[in-house]
Amino acid sequence: MKVLALDTSNFILGISLIEDDKVIGEYITNLKKNHSLRVMPAIEGLLKECDTTPAELDKIVVAKGPGSYTGVRIGVTIAKTLAWTLKIPLSGISSLEALAANARFFEGYIAPLFDARRGLIFTGLYKFTNNKLETIIEDCNILSVDWAKRLKSTNESILFIGQDIALHQEAIKEVLGEQAIFAPPSLFNPRPSELALLGRDKDEEDIHQFVPNYVRMAEAEVKWLETQAKKNDL
Amino acid sequence: MGEFIVKKDQIILGIETSCDETAAAVIKNGTEILSNVISSQIESHKRFGGVVPEIASRMHVEQITLVIEEALLQADVTYKDIDAVAVTEGPGLVGALLIGVNAAKAVAFAHGIPLVGVHHIAGHIYANRLIQEMKFPALSLVVSGGHTELILLKEHGSFKVIGETRDDAAGEAYDKVARTLNFPYPGGPHIDRLAHEGKPSINLPRAWLNGSYDFSFSGLKSSVINTLHNAEQRGETIEPADLAASFQASVIEVLVTKTLKAAEDFNVKQVMLAGGVAANKGLRAALTEAFTAVPDIELVIPPLSLCTDNAAMIGAAGSILFEKGKRSDLALNGNPGLDIENL
Ligand SMILES: [Zn+2]
């Protein structure tokens, strides 16, 4: 069974092709370049290198967010269109979960994070139990300092992972002290092969209905709801 | 050896997501609509008083595969029948364009079908070819929320902008005036309807910009707002229907006069109306009347359904571009500032 996986949730562009338990090919860049322009040529290049035609694919896996709204949308649009048009199943995996998988041999809690501006982060809490990645706290959008406070009561070591940790390291350290461990840069790029393996056995999505998990409402929606709430208060 | 070549029908799958309609269509030989599916988001944007780009992008992702599937089903074609996938690459909202472009690239790649990027306005113009074969040189008056242009076509797929708006697009002026009169978004159709109930009795300016085919509507828009404001201050009431009629009369007189002048100056054989504002009844009637007087110039006005954004027009324009050898590669990107003269 050949699985193509793609992740365009942030600046990192990741594509992989696996066949059963074997990782055949993997492509990762971490560049501030345009995903819309680069993803399809990268998929074409990797498949060609791996002597695989689109018709030979058996499943598509995509990182469904959170992350950059535009980035996630590009990946999800390509993934759902490929799966639909090739008539093969599609699975979506949390972009944070895919990043957490990099810490496979860490025994405590894993907190992958992406910066979400103004002190906020997209994050969730994960843990490997019997070599299986479990979700402890669902993906959310929270101030990094509030997140650190929330994690303090776990009394466990927490590994923070992701290339935006530098922006929040101080705030987290202040609350958690030695409880917080920070992953090295070599673990910052989510591995698209881990994404493929996570998605391989996961239930398939309803392709037409499938959308990103933005975790956050659109700004205009938030403002509109606020105005409605004010109106109701009057 | 006399070989007998049967020319197969050319089938184009068109995809359009440049603003707030998710659309897909299948076009045969550039002129025949096999399917034309549109999923409009207009209801979702109404409460915000206009199109919200982030929400438009989110909704395109929800609709894109459904809409393409429906277009293929209705047209009863398979991927083997399709000669090219044509998609709007710009102009438009960049986040919205990206959905159509990436979906089109995925379909093209999955089945090894050529890909053709299409200019949205070229699409609006080619909506006319779904009604009537083009005759060159041809002139198109393009009027929409974002565009007011006179475009000259010397031949298929060649576009020269001979006049354009220096400030607001006609559709923009309509929406702003509608807002001033407290109509909900989108306001253009309200003004058109109201204009037919009133008399153009209020004197509003016409920006002629003599010696140019360019347009300007911001002065007119300000004049409408001032007229209302001044009347309010004097404690007078202005009949909104009369104001709408006067505004519409000014817009239409300038559009029709300039189009007629350009058509005669460039000796065109055909004039084609294009863009969302082409749905305006007042404009359609005035153009029809003006061109009745010049029978050697054929006037083509598409039906309302082909004036607003759709993918049939993208398929029609894509058909000609494909025939002329245009191919886009998998690095095709959404381009909000795409130039129609350098396709
Ligand atoms: Zn349009």
Q: What is the pLDDT of residues B238-263, one digit of tens each?
A: 999 999 999 999 999 999 999 999 99
Question: DSSP per residue over A66-89, as a string?
Answer: SS-HHHHHHHHHHHHHHHHHHT--
Contact B58 A74 (CB under 8 A): no
A81 CB neighbours in chain B (<8 A) are 64-65, 68, 102-103, 106-107, 110
Q: Which residues of A touch B101 (CB under 8 A)?
A: 36
Q: Are residues B148 and B294 in the same domain?
A: yes
> What are the pLDDT digits (tens) for A16-37?
999 999 999 999 999 999 999 9
For chain A, report the end-to-end CA distance as a whole number of angstroms: 60
Question: What is the radius of gyration, based on Cα positions, of chain A?
Answer: 18
Q: A–B: how many Cβ contacts below 8 A?
A: 98
Which chain B residues touch A221 with a CB distance below 8 Å? 55
Residue type, A61: V
DSSP structural state of residue B266 = T
Q: How far apart are the first and last CA of chain B?
A: 39
Confidence category of residue B2, pLDDT binned at 50, 70, 90? low
Between strands B148-153 and B138-143, the pairing is antiparallel
CATH assignment of the domain containing A153: 3.30.420.40
Both B26 and B114 in one domain: the answer is yes
Question: Is the Cβ pair A224, B106 closer than 8 Å?
Answer: no
Q: For position B50, what pLDDT does the model report?
A: 87
Distance A219 CA to ligand 1 centre (A): 25
* B96 chain-A contacts, CB cut-off 8 A: none
CA distance B234 to B181: 18
| Local structure of B90: helix, strand or coil | strand
B212 three-class SS: coil
Q: How many domains does chain B have?
A: 2
How big is the CA angle at B325 (ends B321 and B326), to the nearest 5 degrees? 55
My answer on whether A115 and A171 are in the same domain is: yes
Q: What is the pLDDT of residue A115?
A: 97
A182 domain residue, yes or no: yes
- Model confidence at A231, in pLDDT bands (50, 70, 90)? confident
pLDDT band at A84 (very low <50, low <70, confident <90, very high): very high
CB contact under 8 A, A69 and B57: yes
Neighbours of ion ligand 1 (CB under 5 A): B 144, 309
Is residue B330 included in any domain, yes or no?
A: no
- The rounded distance, in Å, linking the Cα atoms of B23 and B90 is 15
Domain coverage including residue A155? 96-187
Handedness of CA A27, A31, A32, A38 (dihedral sign): negative
Q: What is the mean pLDDT of chain A?
A: 96
Q: Could you tell me if residue A210 is inside a domain?
A: yes
Tens digits of residue pLDDT in B160-216: 999 999 999 999 999 899 999 999 888 889 999 999 999 999 999 999 999 999 999
User: And the tokens for B343?
Assistant: 């396709």
**CB spacing of B61 vs A77 below 8 angstroms:** yes
User: Does B57 sit within 8 Å of A36, measured CB to CB?
Assistant: no
**ipTM score here?**
0.96
| Dihedral sign, Cα of residue A101, residue A103, residue A104, residue A109 | negative
- How many angstroms separate the CA atoms of B9 and B77, rounded? 12
Q: Does a structural domain hold residue A231? A: no
* pLDDT tens digit sequence for A180-191: 999 999 999 999
Do both B155 and B234 map to the same domain? yes
Residue B212, number of CB atoms within 10 A of its CB: 13
pLDDT 10s digits, A112-122: 999 999 999 99
Together in a domain, B149 and B114: no
Distance from CA of A166 to the nearest CA of B (A): 28
Residue A172 lies in a domain: yes
Q: Is residue B328 part of a domain?
A: no
B111 and A CB contact within 8 Å: yes
- State how many domains chain A has: 2
- Does residue B5 lie in a domain region? no
Nearest-angstrom CA–CA distance, A81 and A94: 19
> Does B331 contact A80 at a Cβ distance shorter than 8 Å?
no
Instruction: Using a CB–CB cutoff of 8 Å, tell me whether B80 touches chain A.
Output: no
Rounded to whole angstroms, the Cα distance separating A90 from A3 reads 10
- Chain B residue whose CA is closest to A80: B65
pLDDT tens digits, residue range B266-275? Answer: 999 999 999 9
Which of the residues A6, A39, A40 would you substitute to probe the B interface, choosing the one with the greatest number of B C-beta atoms within 10 Å? A40
Structural domain boundaries enclosing B86: 11-126+307-323
What pLDDT does residue B3 have?
62
Ligand 1 geometric centre to CA of B151 (Å): 15
Residues of A in contact with B72 (CB under 8 A): none
Quote the CA–CA distance of B287 and B302 in Å, as a whole number.
Answer: 13
State the burial class of residue B258 (Cβ atoms within 10 Å of its Cβ: 0-12, 13-18, 19+): buried
Instruction: Looking at the structure, tell me whether residues A91 and A195 fall in a common domain.
Output: yes
Residues on chain A touching B103 (C-beta within 8 angstroms) = 77-78, 81
For the stretch B263-317, pLDDT in tens is 999 999 999 999 988 889 999 999 999 999 999 999 999 999 999 999 999 999 9
Nearest to B55 among A37, A44, A220 (CB): A220
Cα separation, A92 vs A60, in Å, equals 9
Q: Which token pair is B81?
A: 């029948």
Torsion of the alpha carbons at B207, B209, B215 and B219, rounded to the nearest 10: -30
3-class state of residue B164 by DSSP: strand
What pLDDT was estimated at residue B80?
95
Q: In this structure, is the dihedral angle defined by the CA atoms of residues A148, A150, A156 and A158, taken in order, positive or negative? A: negative
The rounded distance, in Å, linking the Cα atoms of A193 and A184 is 19
Query: B54–A80: do the CB atoms touch at under 8 Å?
Result: no
Ligand 1 centroid, distance to B72 Cα (angstroms): 23
Q: Which region, left, alpha or beta, applies to residue A14 given φ > 0 means left and ψ of -120 to 50 means alpha?
A: beta
Residue in chain B closest to A86 (alpha carbons) equals: B110
Q: Is the pTM of this model over 0.90?
A: yes
Q: Do B109 and A220 touch (CB under 8 A)?
A: no
Residues of chain B with C-beta less than 8 angstroms from the C-beta of A36 = 98, 101-102, 333-334
Q: List, in order, residues 6 or more apart from B62 with CB less than 8 Å away.
A: A209, A211
Query: What is the C-alpha to C-alpha distance for residues A92 and A76, in angstroms, rounded to an integer?
Result: 8
Contacts of B74 (CB under 8 A, 6+ apart): B26, B34, B35, B37
Q: Residues B320, B119: contact at Cβ < 8 Å?
A: no
CB-CB neighbors (< 8 A) of B55 in chain A: 218, 220-221
Evaluate whether residue A229 is within a structural domain: no
Please state, in angstroms and rounded to a whole number, the distance separating the CA atoms of residues A142 and A184: 23
Report the distance separating Cα A228 and Cα B132, nearest Å: 49
Same domain, residue pair B138 and B245: yes
User: In chain A, what percentage of residues exceed pLDDT 70?
Assistant: 100
Residue A9, pLDDT above cutoff 80 = yes
Q: Is residue A143 within 8 Å of A168, Cβ to Cβ?
A: no
